[in-house]
A and B are shown apart, each in its own frame.
Chain A
Amino acid sequence: QKEVEQNSGPLSVPEGAIASLNCTYSDRVSQSFFWYRQYSGKSPELIMSIYSNGDKEDGRFTAQLNKASQYVSLLIRDSQPSDSATYLCAVKTGANNLFFGTGTRLTVIP
Chain B
Amino acid sequence: GAGVSQSPSNKVTEKGKDVELRCDPISGHTALYWYRQRLGQGLEFLIYFQGNSAPDKSGLPSDRFSAERTGESVSTLTIQRTQQEDSAVYLCASSLVLGPRNTGELFFGEGSRLTVL
Contacts and interface: CB of A to CB of B under 8 A. Distances in A.
B41 to A, nearest CB: 7
Interface string B41-55: 111010010100000
Interface residues of B, number: 23
The main secondary structure of chain A at its interface with chain B is strand
Nearest to B53: A96
A44 B109 CA distance: 9
Interface in B1-55: 31, 33, 35, 41-43, 45, 48, 50
A92 B95 CA distance: 12
Contacts of B42: 88, 100-103
Interface residues of A, number: 21
Interface string A34-76: 1010000011111001000000000000000000000000000
A99 B102 CA distance: 14
Contacts of B110: 42-43
Nearest to B107: A46
Contacts of A36: 106
Given A43-B91, A44-B43, A88-B43, A100 B35 contact: yes
A97 B102 CA distance: 9
B56 interface: yes
A32 interface: yes
A97 B109 contact: no
A98 interface: yes
Given A95-B56, A97-B48, A97-B56, A46 B105 contact: yes
A99 B110 CA distance: 19
A94 B103 CA distance: 12
A100 B104 contact: no
Nearest to A99: B45
Nearest to B108: A43
Interface of B: 31, 33, 35, 41-43, 45, 48, 50, 56, 58, 91, 101-111
Given A43-B110, A95-B56, A102-B41, 6 more contacts: A36-B106, A45-B108, A96-B31, A96-B104, A98-B48, A102-B42
